[in-house]
Amino acid sequence: MNVLRYLVAPIAASIAFAPAAQSASDLDFKKIAPKVAQNVGELLEKAHYSRRKLDDTLSKQFLKNYLERLDYNHLFFTQKDVDGFNASYATTLDDAILAGDVDAALKIFAVYKERAEARVAKVKELLKGTFDFKSARSVELNRQKSPWPKDEAEADQIWRDRIEGEMLDRTLSKDKVDAPLKVITRRYDQFLRNLKEQEEEEIIAGFLSVLSETYDPHSEYMSRSQLDSFNITMSLELKGIGAVLTTEDGYAKIRELVPGGPAAEDGRLKVGDRICAVAQGDGEFLETLDTKLDRVVEMIRGKEDTIVRLKIIPVTATDPSERKVIEITRKKVQLKEQEAKAEIVEHQLPDGTKQRLGWIILPSFYADMQHSGTTGAKSTTKDVSVLLEKLKKENIQGLVMDLRRNGGGSLEEAVNLTGLFIKKGPVVVVRDSNGRENILKDRDPSIAYEGPMIVLCNKLSASASEIFAAALQDYNRAVVVGDSSSFGKGTVQTMVDLGNIIPLSLSGRGNGNEAGALKLTIQKFYRISGGSTQLQGVVSDVKLPSLWDQTDIGESALKGPMPYDTIKDVSYDKLEKSLFKPELKQRSTARIATEQEFKWIAEDIERMKKRIAENKISLNQETRRAELDEDKARKEKRTAERAKLKHEAEQVFVVTLDNASKAELEPKKEKKVEKKDAAHKDPATPKPDDADADAEEEEVEAETPKVDPIRAETLHILGDLIEMSHTSVPATAQAKQDEPAAR
């Protein structure tokens, strides 16, 4: 097995660019698909941590998972369809995969496509009717756990309610009279367009990915295009023009321009412009209307210092026939928004003195794994070191490492970053399926920062974040603050390059990419104190109320997670100093009880729990309007009350990798955030396992106030820690209360 690199992978590797796809001239995937499938099956059997056999039992679960991946909300297949699939494939998929037979993937997808096309045709007929919105009926919001419709008649009723609900949503959104019909029709047209654009490679890749995830949620097959995107995510670099694209009415539309990228620097391409054709250098234009977004992105990306020409419909065009040609030279594009960045928060204490606190935001544990060790290779640890040097020069008195929503990344970076805050010693223990243990250590005795420190986490802090937080908690180096616990992912993956396994005669050019890669769970990691973060996560020393702190978010909410277990602890030198955790918790609890923002969060949590439990929404317009009026009144009341609240005066300076070397500090400017229109989300499009979290994130962001109460309270806790650190409390008395203890 050719192991490329170890990682504790992000929950959902997301970048703001659609993945580039392979053209037919580069790769005939049909030719190698059988060998790819066979190798994926064999690797899962022989190399996955569980060593679970690919047998009939797993085959049944695999089929169930694949059907639910296609039809997430149980809307298109009927129970009759499912029974037919079970009869044909439930106990044969295991043998088929090991024989290199992927016909089942294509046949099942063909039925799904047929059902979807028939259903959309019925939807359009429903949209021709009228709705009075006076019924006492309701529509189920999430059907993931509901049974498949027993027959077509039951499916028709489910869809009648669903479409009536969508029409009511649009009617209540104050659109023009004819807008609801147009918006919903366009949505389902786009859904069908996306479905028709699915090619064999993507279908088979999805099928093999579901097989991998049946072993555990974090194993995954990656096609060449997905592997390219993963590398971009980890290295924070691509070669192109720096434009984020989306799809609208068959056009690739500019959703965002990356600051500092070629398109942004050129200035002619605007957000909202639609691309209708692309040309390479002086070559002919190729029309892109109704072309899959992946293909358009592939055409726009290319080698550094080459030219791409875009024919666009300007966002400002009043005449739909207007066209404009823009020529842009491709460059390396750094994904700056996903780099580590810092803030210096300065506020005045009651005695009149100014206190400076450092705040480092780390979105992921990124690393340029393809060029690891070379000069200029991207590294989380290197970037954070630069920020720390600047913060220390500015005389910060305490530091917060903000790992909220940090889904993980490089295992090596997690170990190295921990080393910036401890002298040296073990950081994490990794264990393979044979019980062999490997202690990963920080061997550098130097410390980049020794002052008071907090690690801020939430339920979306996972993998590498949990290694970092757990180690600093075990060493008694930092106080962990945030949700009741972190995500709970305690497994290690490696990338296996399938191109190096499949014979050169089959894989074409033999550069190792054509066949894709298998992200495979091969180890579990454990805290140096002996416990695992698997399922349980890292428990906060000081818990703060949060909308993220829900039971349906985290490792335990995923399908088929690995179990929790423990190992014997290892020897390490725990810092013999007090972190005053009981006192910090007591002070924080007292503040939270009187803080209005946290009272509102508590109300929102209860309302969210009720909505999830009810899982339905009324189809009666008067009832819905009353609910909307109530929501509006509540928000307006909060806005008015929030305006009256007094917040501590503070000055915030931004420290980035670009300005860290400058003498003067850059004041922070508040960004204007546009509220997302949840009504435009496609309810019928199949979603992956993390889609619920994404949907909840949009809802949570819409409710998030300008004042971040979690941030404000964390700064208060850091201030308390700084104050208490100057008092002389015997370390031995506190050590009895600070866990876990070291041996």
Dihedral, CA atoms, 602, 603, 606, 612, nearest 10 degrees?
Answer: -120
Residue 584 to residue 191: CA distance in whole angstroms: 51
- For residue 709, give every residue at least 6 positions away whose Cβ sits within 8 Å of its Cβ, in sequence order, or none: 595, 597, 598, 601
507's enclosing H/E stretch is helix 504-507
* 266 Cα distance to chain centroid: 30
Whether residue 420 contacts residue 448, with contact meaning beta carbons closer than 8 Å, is answered with: yes
- For residue 589, give every residue at least 6 positions away whose Cβ sits within 8 Å of its Cβ, in sequence order, or none: none
- Alpha carbon distances (Å) from 566 to 536, 569, 743: 11, 9, 16
- Mark whether 474 is an active-site residue: yes
What is the residue whose two structure tokens read 């997905």? Answer: 226
Torsion-angle region of residue 97: left (phi > 0), alpha (psi -120 to 50) or beta?
A: alpha
What is the residue whose two structure tokens read 């050169």? Answer: 504
End-to-end CA distance of the chain: 37
What DSSP letter does each residue of 351-417 carry, written as one string?
TS-EEEEEEEE---B-B-GGGTTSTT--BHHHHHHHHHHHHHHTT-SEEEEE-TT---EEHHHHHHH
Residue 189 to residue 123: CA distance in whole angstroms: 11
Q: Which of 253, 331, 489, 519 is catalytic?
A: 489
Q: Which of 474, 483, 541, 690 is catalytic?
A: 474
Task: Quote helix, strand, coil % in the chain, to nearest 5.
Answer: 40, 20, 40
Q: Which of 463, 485, 532, 546 is catalytic?
A: 463
**For the chain, what is the radius of gyration of the CA atoms?**
27
Strands 542-543 and 479-482: parallel
- Mark whether 463 is an active-site residue: yes
DSSP state letter for 556: G
- Mark whether 489 is an active-site residue: yes
Active site residues: 463, 474, 489
